[in-house]
């Protein structure tokens, strides 16, 4: 008997078939897939250049089926600036974690946004340094235990977390600045939509666009994958509220 078969789900063309090194339950895999789907849907793959960071997503160049490179820690927005200025018709993406973007690379991201660089930044915030084994990040929550804040982040000693989207939204060169989360299906779908908008903002040449994605790190948080998603919802979302911090008037029709 012939059973009609139809492919209803497959790997986006913008992802390679390499097995990722990400830990089970890690949000990077979801974020990668959403970016790749968006590139496919907007027919951008063949003219996209990805700037990978230093951190867990350092291997992103191996997972995306696009031209790519690896920046020095925090310098992805500067590298992307150099590329985009010479290749204005290409889509230039930086994919950065919170240690990369909010700590060592805070000058580069702020100035790229202030200059209104026509690039898109995917900012994955999981409140910890993953690659080096779970140290305190600038985004680590007050009281959160890490391998370098073993008694919990003491704000007297280590200060307070940085809310990057709120800061970047203040800069006139920023056109689209939003925070989303991947802790449940509804939010994953919203994240995908925001990535599509950010890429359209770049395509239209309007200026800087960034999607901050709250994500989980079950390994370094010492939780199961499911627990870690609940932790994002119950602890990160209250500190890092989801929403649109800036959608400049000329970008509204792209949302």
Partner 1 sequence: MAKEMLKGNVAIAEAAVRAGMEAYFGYPITPQTELLEHLSKRMVEEDRVFVQAESEVAAINMVYGAACTGKRVMTSSSSPGISLMQEGLSYIAGSYIPTVIVDVMRGGPGLGNILPSQGDYWQVTRMAGHGDYRPIVLAPASVQEAIDFTILAFDLAEKYRHIVVIAADGQIGQMMEPAELPVMRPPSTEVPHWALSGAKNRPPNVILSFNLNGADQEKVNIAIQERIALIKAKEQRWVEHYTEDADLLVVGYGTTGRIAFTAVETARENGLKVGLLRPQTLFPFPDDRISELTDNIKSCLVVEMNAGQMLDDVRLAVGGQVPVGYYGRMGGAVPMPEEILEAVEAEYAKLQGV
Residues in contact with partner 1 by the rule CB under 8 A: 45-49, 51-52, 58, 61-62, 64-72, 75, 78-83, 85-87, 90, 107-108, 110-111, 115
Cβ atoms of 124 and 31 closer than 8 Å: yes
Structure tokens at 32: 């990668």
Q: Which is nearer to partner 1, 110 or 229 (CB)?
A: 110
Q: Which is nearer to partner 1, 12 or 161 (CB)?
A: 12
Listed in order, strand segments (DSSP E) in the chain are 48-52, 67-70, 91-97, 120-125, 174-181, 208-214, 243-247
What angle in degrees, to the nearest 10, is found between the helix axes of 76-86 and 106-114?
30
| Residue 53 C-beta: closest distance to partner 1, Å | 11
Beta strands at 208-214 and 174-181: parallel, antiparallel or unpaired: parallel
Q: Which is nearer to partner 1, 131 or 223 (CB)?
A: 131
| Residue 91 C-beta: closest distance to partner 1, Å | 9
| Residue 72 C-beta: closest distance to partner 1, Å | 5
Cβ atoms of 216 and 226 closer than 8 Å: no
Q: Which is nearer to partner 1, 80 or 236 (CB)?
A: 80
As a whole number of angstroms, the distance between CA 198 and CA 165 comes to 14
What angle in degrees, to the nearest 10, is found between the helix axes of 28-41 and 185-203?
50
The single-letter DSSP state of residue 228 is H
Q: Which is nearer to partner 1, 108 or 161 (CB)?
A: 108
């Amino acid at each position: 008997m012939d059973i009609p078969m139809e492919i209803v789900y497959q790997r986006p063309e913008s992802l390679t078939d390499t097995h990722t090194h990400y830990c089970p339950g890690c949000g990077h895999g979801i974020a990668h897939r959403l970016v790749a789907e968006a590139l496919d849907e907007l027919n951008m793959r063949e003219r996209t250049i990805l700037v990978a960071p230093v951190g867990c997503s350092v291997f992103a160049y191996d997972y995306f089926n696009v031209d790519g490179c690896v920046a020095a820690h925090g310098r992805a927005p500067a590298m992307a600036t150099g590329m985009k200025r010479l290749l204005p018709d290409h889509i230039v993406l930086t994919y950065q974690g919170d240690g990369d973007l909010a700590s060592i690379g805070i000058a580069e991201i702020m100035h790229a946004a202030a200059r209104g660089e026509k690039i898109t930044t995917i900012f994955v915030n999981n409140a910890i340094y993953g690659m080096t084994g779970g140290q305190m990040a600038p985004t680590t929550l007050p009281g959160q235990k890490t391998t370098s804040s073993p008694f919990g982040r003491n704000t007297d000693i280590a200060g307070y977390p940085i809310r990057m989207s709120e800061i970047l939204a203040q800069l006139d060169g920023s056109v689209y600045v939003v925070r989303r989360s991947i802790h449940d299906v509804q939010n994953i779908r919203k994240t995908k939509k925001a990535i599509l908008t950010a890429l359209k903002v770049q395509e239209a040449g309007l200026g800087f666009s960034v999607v901050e994605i709250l994500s989980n790190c079950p390994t370094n948080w010492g939780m199961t994958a499911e627990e870690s998603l609940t932790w994002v919802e119950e602890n990160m979302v209250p500190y890092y509220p989801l929403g649109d911090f800036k959608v400049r008037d000329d970008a509204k029709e792209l949302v």
